[in-house]
Amino acid sequence: MHVVRQILTRLSALVLSLLVASLLIFVALNALPGDATSAILGTNADPVAVAQLRARLGLDRPLLVRYVSWLAGLLRGDLGTSLVSGDAVSSLILPRLGVTVSLVAIATVLSVAIALPLGMYAAVHRRRARGFVAATVSQLGMAVPAFVAGIVLVLVFAVRLQWLPAGGYVDIQRDPLQWLRHLVLPSLSLALVNGSLLARYVRSAFVEVLAEDWFRTARSVGWRLWPALWRHGVRNAATSLVTVVGLQLATVFVGAVVVEQVFAIPGLGTLLLDQVTKRDLVVVQDIVMLLVGVVLVIEALVELAYVALDPRLRGRREAR
């Protein structure tokens, strides 16, 4: 029963957070004197035309009515229409969602693949020069912005070696191999940065594992160091690491916004930046809500997964 109540409490908190987040986003974009009309018609437009446009776009309604109708639309899956182009926002977002999600998914897998060996190595050799070097590598990786890593990767693998394309995107249904080739460098540039950050958590998680009594017992009954770490250490470190990986997903999503720009990938990030430049507030509002919503949902799932992975936490009132 405890578990059910825990899940319900967390889900209601999630709904509340989503509601407050939507309010914040709406207020940030709509509570200003100037609105989309000045972006469309210019600041010196004829007042009559402005009033007509405001009425057509529904901007003459009170703020609260507009907020509620936006929210009601979101719940029905109706994201509204773009102020500038008049397209349905969902038709703009849907084709790009898959692009960004595949970029984030590949980047996350890569960053775990980088962080686990690097962090474990740094933990095992923490008192020696080798461990210091491994820790320095991750410290250095954290200081490189993903978009700088991306530019350097393009320089090496696209301009010099010409192994991989410098940018662009091919749909997976058209050519799976080209799809992957176009995503290697973007996801790697995200993974280098996030993997470095993750490696620090991996390191500290394994420093703790190495100091545990049960680990010493495993070693004393004949387990070799690395098999013991992979077999028992990873599972024990997993609970805290899953949390970090989950919370980093949010960072990776936002990092993708920038990296898409570096590689000219037609994902959510390029769409968002494009609409920010055009000041198409409806589209911006929807995409930001989508990204913030994804982050909040991931956070909730991570907390629930934490409980599922670590039976010791079940039945506790506060998961954190």
Contact residue for another protein among 112, 120, 124, 262 (CB under 8 A):
262
Assess 245 for contact with another protein (CB under 8 A). Answer: no
Assess 11 for contact with another protein (CB under 8 A). Answer: no
Contact residue for another protein among 53, 59, 249, 257 (CB under 8 A):
257
Which span (43-51, 79-87, 145-153, 305-313) binds another protein, by CB under 8 A? 145-153
Burial of 179 (0-12, 13-18, 19+ CB in 10 A): middle
CB of 38 to another protein, least distance (A): 11
Contact residue for another protein among 6, 25, 37, 116 (CB under 8 A):
25
Which residue, 145 or 176, has its beta carbon nearer to another protein? 145
Count of residues that interact with another protein, criterion CB under 8 A:
50
The footprint of another protein on residues 275-294 (CB under 8 A) is 275-277, 279, 281, 284, 288, 291-292
CB of 172 to another protein, least distance (A): 26
CB of 295 to another protein, least distance (A): 4
Which residue, 71 or 172, has its beta carbon nearer to another protein? 71
Contact residue for another protein among 29, 105, 172, 305 (CB under 8 A):
29
Assess 254 for contact with another protein (CB under 8 A). Answer: yes
CA atoms within 13 A on the CB side of 255: 28
Which chain residues interact with another protein by CB under 8 A? 13, 16-17, 20-21, 24-25, 28-29, 32, 126, 139-140, 142-148, 151-152, 154-155, 159, 166, 204, 207-208, 250-251, 254, 257-258, 261-262, 272-273, 275-277, 279, 281, 284, 288, 291-292, 295-296, 299
